[in-house]
Amino acid sequence: MSDLQSIPAELLARYDSAGPRYTSYPTAVEFREDFGEPDYLRALERADACGAAPLSVYTHLPFCERRCTFCGCHSFATTRKEVAEPYLVHLLAEMNLVAERLPHRRRVAQFHLGGGTPTYFSPSQLERLVNGFARHFEFLPNAELAVEVDPRVTGEAHLDMLARLGFNRISMGVQDFSPEVQQAIGRGQTREQTTVLVARARQHGFAGINFDLVYGLPAQRPESFAQTLAETVALRPDRVAVYSFAYLPMIRSNQKLIDVRAVPDRDTKLQLLAMARDAFLAAGYQAIGMDHFALPSDELAMAQREGRLSRNFMGYTVNPGDDTLGFGVSAIGDVRGALVQNEKKLAPYYRTIASGHLPVQRGYARSRDDEIRRDAILSLMCNFTVDRATLEARYGIVFADYFRETLAKLAPFEKDGMCHLDEQGLHAVGLGQIFVRNLAMCFDAYLTPRQRLGRPVFSRTV
């Protein structure tokens, strides 16, 4: 039996709490409406002063032909493909506006097309987008160019164009191969569509293929999930992300279509997670962070072994830039300590860009305390350690004094064998590496007030 499945019920109940995934700190629930374009412009000015430092770039392409009932992404479902053209025009205009503010900083180490479904756009439209961006910014020779694709709508012409433009990472949503689960989430993606796309991607030279699996979906059963895991291992993707289904119908209106009776309970979810972990470790994959697995030869695995794994809005990464630019509706950037989110609705996004302004809806300017806690949380989430000497040297603090309250919160986890503290710092061990979100939450200065308010803003950690 897996160690996960042998967790005592009392401990499991304690660990199963709502908490952030920490793609940013502070998290998006802390963003403020009084943060606007002037704040972003000042952040871009500071970023430009950094000269040749490379950037990370996320571009949000929000359209899908049909919205899956489980989905938590910011997307718009429509079969009217003509909506893509005006979006592309305004997206290129936004890129131009930002480039004007970065005359000395145009090198890019990471470029990610996410959604929605980026391959909802035609190959020629995606080519215009990438070439339009490349007129202002320069991809570094070793840059990571990644794209999220839907096997149901991604054709040979898409792959040919993406490979020709230098894309080297491709991530495809699988969720679960079971037809019953596919029907329950309103997706209808066949095994054959995924298998064909993997083969074609390899033929086009994509060295990094990622699968997204989700556990805890409606109609998911251990027996069928075991088959999904076996089929995934047989296809041998370079990386696999195994996400917990965040069932938040009070926030995601599309999830209200799910029959709650079909959603697995906590114990079954834990069993599914244990099955996934056991299957991928047995197949030779290396566990990465809290929910990823990678072949030992993959960049993520090598980076984690060397203690240089990083994390941003695009997930775990090897070579992020010091700052992240976010383009497109709802996109989030992280620039010189400023978290910036674009307008979430198309009409104000279009209107603001047409007026020559950046489409900032809200954001957050990090304080010094935020920066310290952010470094600690990211280090823990990526490399399972918080290095005492690094933080003390970087910020001029005394670790034990600065984090006195945090260490008190961590004491019960240490007692349960999930972490330990020594002269080097904090280390997540055993189950603590699986429930690393729970450990990171101890460093979060905002979480306790948020919990007291009882708002259902975060998914559960199990």
Q: Which fold has domain 1-18+367-454?
A: Arc Repressor Mutant, subunit A (1.10.10)
Give the integer Cα–Cα distance in Å for 451 and 363: 21
**Bond before 103 cis per omega within 30 degrees:** no
Strand pairing class (338-342; 332-335): antiparallel
CA 156 to each of CA 101, 135, 212: distance values in angstroms, whole numbers, following the listed order:
37, 26, 21
pLDDT at residue 9, rounded to an integer:
66
Torsion sign, CA atoms 195, 196, 202, 208: negative
Per residue in 196-233, pLDDT (tens digit) is 999 999 999 998 899 999 999 999 999 999 999 999 99
pLDDT at residue 315, rounded to an integer:
83
pLDDT confidence bin for 4, thresholds 50/70/90: low
Per residue in 329-358, pLDDT (tens digit) is 999 999 999 999 999 999 999 999 999 999
pLDDT at residue 452, rounded to an integer:
45
Domain extent listing, the chain: 1-18+367-454, 27-324
Do the two domains 1-18+367-454 and 27-324 of this chain adopt the same fold? Answer: no
Least confident of 75-84, 218-227, 396-405: 75-84
Give mean pLDDT, residues 449-457.
54
Percentage of the chain lying above the pLDDT 90 cut: 70
Architecture of the CATH domain 27-324:
Alpha-Beta Horseshoe (3.80)
Kindly tell me the burial class for residue 260, based on how many C-beta atoms sit within 10 Å of its own C-beta (0-12, 13-18, 19 or more): exposed
Per residue in 165-191, pLDDT (tens digit) is 999 999 999 999 999 999 999 888 999
| Positions of E strands within 345-433 | 360-365, 385-387, 419-422, 425-428
The structure's pTM equals 0.92
Task: Look at the block and give the residue holding tokens 């040979």.
Answer: 156
Q: Residue 132, by phi and psi: left (phi above 0), alpha (psi -120 to 50) or beta?
A: alpha
